[in-house]
Structure 1
Amino acid sequence: MRIGGGNLVTHLHGAPSAQIYAALRGVGAPLGRMDSYGWRTLDRKPTPMDFDAAMREAHERGVTPIILLEYEGSYQFLEPPQPIGSYEDWYAAGVAYAKRFRPGGDWAKANHVTGWGVTVFTAINEPDVQATIPRDAYRRALEGLADGVHSVDRELKVVPGGFATCNSHGDATLRGYGPAIAPLLEDGRLDGVDLHTYYNFRWFPLTKGRRFSAQSCFDRVKKAMGLTRDVNFYATEYNISKSEGWARPETAAKLFLTAFWDEMAVVGANGRPATIFAMPWNLGDTGTIEGPSYAMAAAADPWRPEPRAIVLRNVIRLAGSMHFTSIDQQKGLLTLDGPDGRLLVWHNLDGWTDAPGSAWTVVPPPWAVAAELWGWDGLRKSVSVTGGEHRFTALRQGETYMVFLPRPEP
Structure 2
Amino acid sequence: MSRPHPLNPALAATIPPPVMEARRWLDGVAFPEDRPLLNLSQAAPADPPPEGLRREIARLAVDVPEAHLYGPVLGLPALRERLAADWSAHYGGTARPAQVAITAGCNQAFAAAVSTLAARGDNVVVPTPYYFNHAMWLAMEGIEARLHETGQDLLPDPEAVAAAIDDRTRAILLVTPNNPGGVEYPAALVAAFRDLARACGIALILDETYRDFHAAEGAPHALLEDPDWDRTVIQLFSFSKSYRLTGHRVGAIVAAADRLREAEKWLDTVTICPAQLGQHAALWGMENLGDWLAGERREILARRRAMDAGFRDLAEWEVLGCGAYFAYVRHPFPERSDALCRRLVRDAGLLLLPGTMFGPLREAGGSGRAEATLRIAYANADLGGIEELFRRLRDVAPA
Task: Give the TM-score range, shorter chain.
Answer: under 0.3
Higher share in helix: 2
Higher share in strand: 1
Q: Which has the higher contact order (CA 8 A, sep 6+)?
A: 2
**TM-score, scaled to structure 2:** 0.23
**TM-score, scaled to structure 1:** 0.22
